[in-house]
Amino acid sequence: MQTLHVQPMVRRNGLTLVLLGSIITIAMISILFLLGEQPLIPIYCGLLAGLMTLFIGTLKLREPHFSLSLCHDCLQYHHKHGGWVLKWVNIQRIDHPRIHMGWDLVEIPFIGLRIKDYDSFLTLITPRLAVGILTEQRAVLMQVLQSEQTDCPTGTCASQFDDLFEESHYRSREGAQYEGVIAMLANRMARLRSLLGYDLLVPVGSLDRDPADFIRLLHQYQRESNLIQIN
């Protein structure tokens, strides 16, 4: 199987926004110098718009050029704070997580991965990446907790904020001990499994196509990898 490198949708149009924001900002600053004491509120609004466009474009360009790599034996995730690797044989399930919204099941903007062995995953995670993942998952964790706690309709109950913090000690089923942010990430994975049925969440902004199509692509790579190992 040929390795496939995925260019994320979240990075698209980043350079265009940077160039457009730069042009607007320079134009507005030039007009400010030319007008002098005249009313400048529209110009300041244009300057703010240019700076915001430049800022958004810069954030897009800070994302990794490739977000995922699908190899013959593993799935690699590239993050601005590092990356992780999962062997296909260590992935038990791949699907689109759903949460309850009233009587309906609603998909969240992530692809879920349920893994078999935590240890082979956690030993490759850096503390910097663990902090990045924990921080980015706070919003979705609050959303999930809100959907599960019907007695807290606003989603801002004190108990929910307490639930956002994980224990800094973790012992795996194989007896390995973890401390600090790696242990917090492991506890977060276990929490997500109990709430959603998945350990890891990949944001749909990291994909290059519709989530359903990408899930089918992941299943295809996993099946072909398993066939290669059997043969």
| Structural domain that includes position 137 | 90-209
Is residue 72 assigned to a domain? no
Rounded Cα gap, residues 177 and 171, in angstroms: 5
Is residue 94 assigned to a domain? yes
Q: DSSP characters for 27-74?
A: HHHHHHHHHTTS--HHHHHHHHHHHHHHHHHHHHHHS-S-SEEE-SSE
Is residue 223 assigned to a domain? no
If you search the block for the tokens 């904020």, which residue do you land on?
Answer: 161
Is residue 70 assigned to a domain? no
Is residue 8 assigned to a domain? yes
Is residue 124 assigned to a domain? yes
Within this chain, do residues 20 and 113 fall inside the same structural domain, yes or no? no
If you search the block for the tokens 């890891």, which residue do you land on?
Answer: 200
Q: What is the pLDDT of residues 91-148, one digit of tens each?
A: 999 999 988 777 778 888 899 999 999 999 998 899 999 999 998 888 888 888 887 6
DSSP designation for 7: P
Within this chain, do residues 94 and 167 fall inside the same structural domain, yes or no? yes
Within this chain, do residues 159 and 109 fall inside the same structural domain, yes or no? yes
Rounded Cα gap, residues 229 and 227, in angstroms: 5
Number of domains the chain contains = 2
Question: What percentage of the chain carries pLDDT values higher than 70?
Answer: 84
Cα atoms found within 13 Å of the Cα of residue 161, Cβ hemisphere only: 4
Within this chain, do residues 43 and 133 fall inside the same structural domain, yes or no? no
Within this chain, do residues 106 and 202 fall inside the same structural domain, yes or no? yes
Within this chain, do residues 117 and 159 fall inside the same structural domain, yes or no? yes
CA-closest candidate to residue 205, choices 18, 60, 3: 60
Structure tokens that stand for 155 in this block: 């989603």
Under the banding of pLDDT at 50, 70 and 90, the label for residue 155 is: very low
Under the banding of pLDDT at 50, 70 and 90, the label for residue 158 is: very low
Is residue 146 assigned to a domain? yes
